[in-house]
Structure 1
């Protein structure tokens, strides 16, 4: 496809937002030379035409404030020569006949297939090419009526000596110079800053070769981009031009997003043919764009890691072409290394649900996968360690406990109590180590647990034998529930309460209350020295002769598994621990 210009500015008018996006993407994909702007109504469409940069109007029939034919009539009043295409799935032959009578340039029916956009793009280019050629013929013939006719483009006519012989209102606005300062004067003397620019060279080359030229160039002195159609004639040159600066800036922004993402990204036809690939993907594969564009995606070098990789990539494309979002973890082949990518293919559809484009993406997760594998190996080693502890340590521990019972039957010695205390401590350490190794990683289902009931159950278990210890609550605790794994919450509370009794003594007072972000446990014991506050959650750390050193480590692991945070707070006298929960986890219940 191709007309007289490299880029054609199209105004697409449609009141359906989803359809607008689909048609815009499909048209710009169907022809590289189309740049599409949109409007949702007749009023906004006419307003946009006043910018003077529109080459062709495309409109749906049903609009929010009228019909496409009413828009056509409004366009024809102001812009009688502007190409107008009615693109609709509505209507019948009567509407088509009325549209043609009203002066529509083309009438294209929607058929629901992807080919309709190729047809529409062809019609747009054909009508714009024909319209530009007609204007060129009228202007270069120096027909006074044709020159005075309203021209949608900015227009400039030069004689053989480069003097300006005509400049229309739009061109004067671009130049910012009154007509009397332009007419009769040399273009290069009036704008001497243009003599060392590509425009100067293009104008002279067009005149020397007597061949029309279309250019898109950046004019540095004004910091603007222009698209120009330069036509030689017997009398000099005529030039039609647009300021396309905003369009170029948008293109650069879109390209920057596409190219600078760290992900592998591309565009596919629904049949899997690669239309585009970004630099990240090309650099990884050591490829040039020409190596992959036009090929089926699964035939490109990235997917030659294995037959399984190719088949899974092909399957993903085929499923996406049927409207499904597909995601895999996939090994791919780079220029100098293999990688594991989080690979997905996303379908884009038109207003009828027809898939018109596919977007494949890949995120390199090789390092993440290796970390996961290393973590799994670590977990396997922990499981092995837990098995050794469970079997090789518990067996002699059970034997020692049995022997102790026999020894008590045979004699009464003060040393036996010390042995029993030591064996109990070994048993507690074993339980804590096994839990940390095997069960500390995950939690089960969460339910609404009444916090005071959970505290009471934990206190009953750990305070047995500490008759002087006292448990207190604040007023809100009785009506508070928390979303938690009931068993794990119980373990957390048991360890915190046992920690308070172990360090605060058998006459300790423990207070449990709520905060804006969770709950707290505070005791009136001796507290934690400032020099040791950073170590309390370290595994194996304890200031009590009877402590295992794992209790607070277990508390931290349970909190972390829930997504909570446990912090050492500032108690009024003793130690305080704050459990900070997700704001949705703690709430009051009306009784």
Structure 2
């Protein structure tokens, strides 16, 4: 193959011409073709289009020097052999020539020396050999970089390296290894610079090298460094294989491995024979089996016996067809306890699409299923509550269900008692009886219980002892849920363990309290309706019975007046009408007795009694008052109370009876007594019944009205005998 040599000299051919160099010694190197140039510019033009194997140049050129040409050539052709021939002292140009990377330089006088020709021939042969090596390197599938340790420079690269980094071969020689390296490297790997420093006599094994391209894109390579000797110089060959795709795949696999290993759900992998090949930490936590105990076994070690052959047959048919299986399954732990999981089993295929293994993800739903079952059972149990006839019966049903269905062992239901103005225990669980010897009654301002009742806002405490308004700071109860029951009372649910209740427990407790409140409302409405019906029946009875007598009397006198013309009968008719009016007024008031006494204010007891006396037909009766005291009462209703007691005393004690109003000795209330015949002990419990009377002219509702007014104020009334033997009514207001 012809070797082209560029000869640069600025004169015509003479006996010492470089053009005649090879013709003098053809046996040293054959098949040489020379190209001539007479200046640096002409030589540069030739090099842009021609590929030469060597350059011979005189130092003295017409306008430039051979060193100038050398420096220019090296910018684009760093590897081509360049020989410089110097006229005169070599020392004058030696430093510049070497600095410009001259291959060698000779005195012009030795131009035809056999050794000079041999030296040039060796370099031409070596360069032609280098080109073959470059072609060989370019065919390599991975990047190859040749690094000159002495110059700390990249001297050669292959085409694949150019593809990796995006630089041309010429641009590579202008870059350092540091500029090819990404700023961030794996912390576990030795820096590339350190590897280069250490790679004197032995190769380095593959290390991860993160690189960056010309446009700044980062990629991964596996780097191997091999030290070599080339042309008498030490070089390093860097072999870099692009591992970016592998790295990304490894990172994805590592991320997946970490995600699976630390997943909150139980995961295991089996081969196609159902043999377990992998389990994660959650599998060990959930099942109780260690990894070594599970791997090599089949999922049958979790079998609970709850599912039949058809269940598993359908499972295997689904996943072997390449589909994903999803269903709930009841498994059994190593300790024998059962648990429920939502299981998803998916097939994993290889690169050929063949199923190679299965992955099972098990989301435990045991607690959720337990809550669902609780709600279902609670719904069924609520039907018993709804059918309860009394408040106590409803609360007892709730107490039973709180223990049996919701696992709340310590609880109690407290209902408001109007008489004591307090929350009193109606029912408590058996364990509450054991834990707390005496169950308190909560009055106004007593602890959290009363605050919840009064505000209607439920409260939950992880440690009730830390609550500011705790009723008993030394209580054995630590966790507590307190729920209002409307105007009826509260439910207390407790535990001896701090933080025992979660949001689901609170929700279930609220469901219970909501249903019980509705039931108590219903029972209250039914009782109120029964009372109203009773009053209506009573009203109808009185209308049909008590009004019939004066009505018959009126009709009889009316007939006599019509027959005889005697107008005196009209007086009797008027009395009968007056009698019926009194009965009607009493009945109308009693029909509204369910209304509460609300318009109370401080009033003088003495003035109300005097005013009431003035509205009663007293005949020759007399009133003695010794009750100078102010009380909180509804003045209209209190006056009505006195009127009925005064009227009762006159009706039963005679026209000249003496009625006394005074204060009880203990200061808790007042009394009204008379000097009449009194009421026998065996009749004293009956006199307050509506319609009860021993006198034909009496409606029998006066004392019933008195008792209603007393109850409406929250007072108490007691019937005894006075010192003179008459009736004595004692009203206790405190």
* Bigger Cα Rg: 2
Please identify which structure carries the higher helix content: 1
TM-score normalised to structure 1 length: 0.42
TM-score by structure 2 length?
A: 0.35
**Larger RCO (CA under 8 A, 6+ residues apart):** 1
